[in-house]
């Protein structure tokens, strides 16, 4: 008997009916799987008898009742990246369990795995083994360094990749210690890129009838995300400096003090700078030849920022942001998370979801003629494992 759902979770979801087998743990692979699950795919997550390691990555912890009434205590971290999936426990050392996983793979549209390069070959769950029985399979491998290259067989970890990729060289205050991002940006970026690549491969399969292996690397994805910082180096041969909250090519652009905290001001052209000067009752700044053009403002950024800080320090946060918004000047607060999830815009967009008593954040897709499949929380360990081994 197949374990795949016979009917879509939500027939009006974009990926309704798509069968995804997830042999992934921790973050990058599960993040890609959750995106596909939110889009309507039936995602079966294969877990070892011990479960995905993030189930133990607490505190904070979440408690909920199982079908038998017992209380399950799991880390909130796990629930951040496993919504909408089903959990099947499989011990790869058990022949029956392993054959069940192979059967699921033969029936799947997509397989996501993040084992070390070549690590699934001994179980005949690598792409070369599975494509013979399932030539339409889109097989997504997520590793630290990819399937090729001198480091292909090394494990990759988000923090290390942030340093290797150049992220940390451009993050932090000038002259200070390099700083990592406040989230696991290399893992998350790879998950997002992977979900995009999987769907591209599915579109190609629609034309050719053939699946393929998608090779995703944390290092590749992190280097790709350098964007303008990469072109800065590639066109000049120089390393871009750490700028803290400032911008290397635009001024003023940063965090400025107010009576009750700080605000972000980002007037990114001459017109907006003139409007900001008017809001701050400092029209003399816009008339000053040193600040008349963006180039001049960047050259004299230290002086200009000091003058703007003097002006903003007399305002309240709410007052300055409202005045800037009224004049079309880009400005905003630096919210803590309680403020984020109380923000009227975030509330209006329905970014928070509550499923089975579990709070979470939905994937940020909104369609005119489709819906997300937000119908179930993250699964309890093994809740979808067949009761017998036949």
Which residues is 72 bridged to in the sheet?
64
**How large a percentage of the chain has pLDDT more than 90?**
90
DSSP string, 254-269: EEEEETTEEEEE---S
Sign of dihedral through CA atoms 211, 158, 233, 300? positive
Minimum mean pLDDT range among 60-69, 83-92, 201-210, 229-238: 60-69
Task: Please check whether residue 56 is in contact with residue 76, taking contact to mean a CB–CB distance below 8 angstroms.
Answer: no
Q: 279 versus 175: which is more confidently predicted? A: 279
Task: Please check whether residue 39 is in contact with residue 70, taking contact to mean a CB–CB distance below 8 angstroms.
Answer: no
Confidence of residue 211 (pLDDT cuts 50, 70, 90): very high
User: Is the pLDDT at 214 greater than 50, yes or no?
Assistant: yes
Q: Give 32-54 pLDDT, tens digit per residue.
A: 999 999 999 999 999 999 999 99
Nearest residue to 110 via CA among 47, 44, 208, 26: 44
Alpha helices in the chain (DSSP H): 28-38, 76-79, 95-107, 127-133, 158-165, 185-208, 218-224, 228-236, 270-279, 283-287, 294-299, 301-312, 317-326, 337-340, 344-348
Task: Please check whether residue 48 is in contact with residue 7, taking contact to mean a CB–CB distance below 8 angstroms.
Answer: no
**How large a percentage of the chain has pLDDT more than 70?**
99
Residue 351's pLDDT is: 97
Nearest residue to 214 via CA among 338, 311, 131, 327: 131
Residue 1's pLDDT is: 61
Structural domains in the chain, CATH included, are 19-225+355-361 (3.40.50.10540), 254-338 (3.30.1540.10)
Sequence-distant (≥ 6) Cβ neighbours of residue 243 within 8 angstroms: 170, 174
Residue 69's pLDDT is: 79
What is the CB neighbour count within 10 angstroms for residue 158?
23
The average confidence (pLDDT) of the chain is 94
369 given a catalytic annotation: no
User: Is the pLDDT at 105 greater than 80, yes or no?
Assistant: yes
Q: How far is CA 140 from CA 57, 117, 118, in A?
A: 25, 12, 13
Structure token digits, residue 298: 């960047």
In angstroms, rounded to a whole number, what is the distance separating the alpha carbons of residues 71 and 381? Answer: 12
Q: 356 versus 280: which is more confidently predicted? A: 280
In angstroms, rounded to a whole number, what is the distance separating the alpha carbons of residues 327 and 279? Answer: 8
User: Is the pLDDT at 244 greater than 90, yes or no?
Assistant: no
Q: Give 363-382 pLDDT, tens digit per residue.
A: 999 999 999 999 999 999 99
In angstroms, rounded to a whole number, what is the distance separating the alpha carbons of residues 197 and 213? Answer: 10
Nearest residue to 70 via CA among 389, 382, 385: 382
Residue 388's pLDDT is: 64
Q: Give 288-308 pLDDT, tens digit per residue.
A: 999 999 999 999 999 999 999
Q: Give 7-28 pLDDT, tens digit per residue.
A: 999 999 999 999 999 999 999 9
Residue 117's pLDDT is: 93
User: Is the pLDDT at 389 greater than 90, yes or no?
Assistant: no
> What mean pLDDT is predicted for residues 193-205?
98
Residue 75's pLDDT is: 93
Q: Give 117-155 pLDDT, tens digit per residue.
A: 999 999 999 999 999 999 999 999 999 999 999 999 999
Q: Give 319-340 pLDDT, tens digit per residue.
A: 999 999 999 999 999 999 999 9
> b/e string for 282-309 if b means 16 or more Cβ within 10 A?
beebbebeebeebeebbeebeebbebbe
DSSP string, 209-249: S--EEEEEEHHHHHHHTTTHHHHHHHHHSSPPPP-TTS-SS
Residue positions counted in the chain: 390
The residue whose two tokens read 């009434």 is 69
CB burial of residue 112 (10 Å; 0-12, 13-18, 19+): buried
> What mean pLDDT is predicted for residues 103-114?
97
Q: How far is CA 238 from CA 167, 231, 233, 339, 369, in A?
A: 15, 10, 5, 39, 47
Residue 249's pLDDT is: 84
Structure token digits, residue 344: 């009227």
Dihedral over alpha carbons 110, 112, 116, 121 (to 10 degrees): -30
In angstroms, rounded to a whole number, what is the distance separating the alpha carbons of residues 8 and 10? Answer: 5
Among residues 38, 42, 187, 305, the one annotated as catalytic is 187
User: Is the pLDDT at 68 greater than 90, yes or no?
Assistant: no
Residue 46 phi/psi, 5° resolution? -90, 125
Confidence of residue 390 (pLDDT cuts 50, 70, 90): very low
């Amino acid at each position: 008997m197949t374990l795949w759902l016979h009917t879509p979770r939500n027939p009006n979801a974009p990926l309704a009916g798509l069968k995804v087998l997830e042999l992934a743990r921790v973050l990058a692979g599960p993040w890609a799987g959750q995106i596909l699950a939110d889009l309507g795919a039936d995602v079966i997550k294969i877990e070892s008898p011990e479960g995905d390691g993030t189930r133990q990555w607490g505190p904070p912890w979440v408690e909920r009742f199982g079908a038998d009434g017992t209380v399950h205590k799991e880390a909130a971290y796990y629930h951040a990246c496993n919504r909408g999936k089903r959990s099947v426990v499989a011990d790869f050392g058990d022949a029956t369990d392993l054959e069940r996983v192979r059967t699921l793979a033969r029936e799947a549209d997509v397989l996501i795995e993040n084992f070390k390069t070549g690590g699934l070959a001994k179980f005949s769950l690598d792409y070369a083994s599975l494509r013979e029985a399932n030539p339409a399979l889109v097989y997504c491998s997520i590793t630290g360094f990819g399937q090729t290259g001198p480091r292909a067989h090394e494990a990759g970890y988000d923090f290390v990749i942030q340093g290797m990729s150049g992220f940390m060289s451009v993050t932090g205050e000038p002259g200070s210690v390099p700083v990592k991002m406040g989230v696991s940006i290399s893992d998350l970026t790879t998950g997002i890129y992977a979900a995009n690549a999987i769907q591209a491969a599915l579109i190609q399969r629609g034309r050719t009838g053939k699946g393929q292996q998608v090779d995703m690397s944390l290092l590749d994805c992190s280097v790709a995300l350098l964007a303008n910082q990469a072109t800065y180096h590639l066109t000049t041969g120089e390393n871009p400096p750490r700028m803290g909250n400032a911008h290397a090519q635009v001024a003023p652009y940063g965090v400025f003090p107010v009576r009750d905290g700080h605000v972000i001001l980002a007037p990114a052209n001459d017109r907006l700078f003139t409007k900001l000067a008017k809001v701050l009752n400092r029209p003399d700044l816009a008339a000053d030849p040193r600040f008349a053009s963006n180039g001049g403002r960047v050259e004299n950024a230290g002086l200009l920022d000091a003058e703007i800080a003097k002006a903003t320090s007399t305002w309240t946060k709410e007052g300055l942001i409202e005045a800037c918004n009224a004049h079309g000047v880009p400005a905003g607060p630096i919210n803590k998370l309680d403020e984020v999830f109380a923000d009227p815009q975030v509330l209006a967009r329905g970014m928070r979801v509550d499923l089975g008593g579990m709070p979470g954040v939905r994937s940020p897709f909104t369609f005119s003629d489709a819906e997300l499949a937000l119908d179930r929380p993250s699964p309890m360990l093994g809740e979808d494992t067949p009761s017998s081994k036949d």
